[in-house]
Amino acid sequence: MVKSLQQNSLKMIKKVLLSLVILSCYAYGQETYFEVGVNNTSYNYTFESSTNDFELDSSPGIFLRVGIGELLPNLDYGFSYHQFNSIGKLYEDTFEWNTNYVGGFLQFDYPLINNKLILTPATEILTLFSGKQFSFGEIYTLGEEPEFTGLWISPRLGIIYKVDFSNYISIGVGYNFSISINATNSTDESLIFNTHQLSIKFDL
């Protein structure tokens, strides 16, 4: 049943991404931008039979968002890519997780001060593209691990300060915090990504 849910969620992601491409042809206005930065992610992992001896630490990764249009004024959408990584330790053994997630987002831009300081609440829908676990001298793929796969919902709140260089180009620096939750995982293992982001945004 879990495998069926994962397959259905992947089909849903594909439909969402296809819809975003189609909507870009009919968007209210054009708001194209690139936002790139660093993810600093910590895992919140729970398992009924686990002990408190397992230590998890945050680990850096990168992210990229591409805004491709507006559905309504100040409500933009696009594609996103994230690395949600972490390291851990159990007694003398070390663990490392490197993941790559892809998906889409909806973001509302709320100007605060003269259109320079902007609040950016958003929601992203993501799914695992690839992932690996390094432990006990071995490398394991995460593509069949239900706590990593499936449909992820990632609400996000951020703030950005931008400077206009012309009528067509502006650059901004920002901070975001997001919580990513696996909406399709029905196993006893629960995983949540808590992520702090520092970013640079290029509006075109």
Number of domains in the chain: 1
Q: How many C-beta neighbours within 10 Å does residue 59 have?
A: 19
C-alpha–C-alpha distance, residues 173 and 198, integer Å: 8
Residue 5 is predicted with a pLDDT of 41
Predicted confidence (pLDDT) per residue in 99-115, tens digit:
999 999 999 999 998 88
| Residue 97, CA distances (Å) to 54, 86, 102, 172, 188 in order | 14, 5, 17, 31, 20
pLDDT of residue 163: 92
Residue 13 belongs to domain spanning: 2-203
Q: What pLDDT score was predicted for residue 97?
A: 93
Residue 146 belongs to what H/E stretch?
Answer: none
CATH code of residue 158: 2.40.160.20
pLDDT one-digit tens code per residue, 34-44: 999 999 999 98
pLDDT at 27: 43
- Low-confidence stretches of the chain (pLDDT < 70) are 1-31, 48-54
**Predicted local confidence at residue 13, as pLDDT:** 52
- Output the CA–CA distances (angstroms, integers) from residue 99 to 22, 59, 91, 193, in the order listed: 28, 11, 24, 11
Residue 7: the pLDDT is: 52
Q: What pLDDT does 204 receive?
A: 79
